[in-house]
Structure 1
Amino acid sequence: MEIRIGVQHVAREVVLESEQTPDEVQKLVETALEKGTPLVLTDERGHHVVVPGNALGYIDIGSETRGRVGFGG
């Protein structure tokens, strides 16, 4: 699933593909916002992305459904 993170005072957003579920990501975001702790997400390749909780502008959590490949309808 694709996750897009807007960081305050940064022009570009952070985009990553993750194997985490939308519910897991939402809980991590809520905790980071409530406690002011860093948001730590893991991408498909096992890399960790760390964003300070107090710098989060927005989070766009994609659906778990992956798009089709090819020309089918």
Structure 2
Amino acid sequence: MEIKIGVQHAPREIVLESGQSAEEVERAVADALAGKAQLLSLMDEKGRKVLIPSDRLAYVEIGEAAARRVGFGAL
């Protein structure tokens, strides 16, 4: 699933593909915004961990994974 994270005072958003479910990501974001965690911690598909200070979160967009197209086909 594709996750886009906006960070305050940063010109670009963070985009990552994660194997976590939408419910897991939503729970992690809710815990970070509620003050239960100081960092939003997410894992991407390659096993890298992304840590963002919860007080710097601007927005989080949770979307479906896009199918990757290969080759020269008609759209």
Normalising TM by the smaller chain, what interval? 0.7 to 0.9
- State whether structure 2 residue 51 is matched by structure 1 residue 50: yes
Please tell me the residue identity of whatever aligns with 1:7: V
Unaligned runs of 5+ in 2: none
Note the C-alpha offset of 1:24: 0.3
Moved runs in structure 1, 4+ residues, more than 4 A? 70-73
Q: Bigger radius of gyration, 1 or 2?
A: 2
3-state SS of paired residue (2:9):
coil
Unaligned runs of 5+ in 1: none
Note the C-alpha offset of 1:69: 3.8
| TM-score, with structure 2 as normaliser | 0.85
Whole-Å Cα distance in 1 between the matches of residues 13 and 50 of structure 2?
12
- State whether structure 2 residue 42 is matched by structure 1 residue 41: yes
Q: Residue 2 of structure 1 aligns with which residue? A: 2
Note the C-alpha offset of 1:37: 1.4
- Between 16-25 and 31-40, report the one with greater CA deviation: 31-40
Whole-Å Cα distance in 2 between the matches of residues 54 and 10 of structure 1?
13
Instruction: Work out the number of aligned pairs and report it.
Output: 72
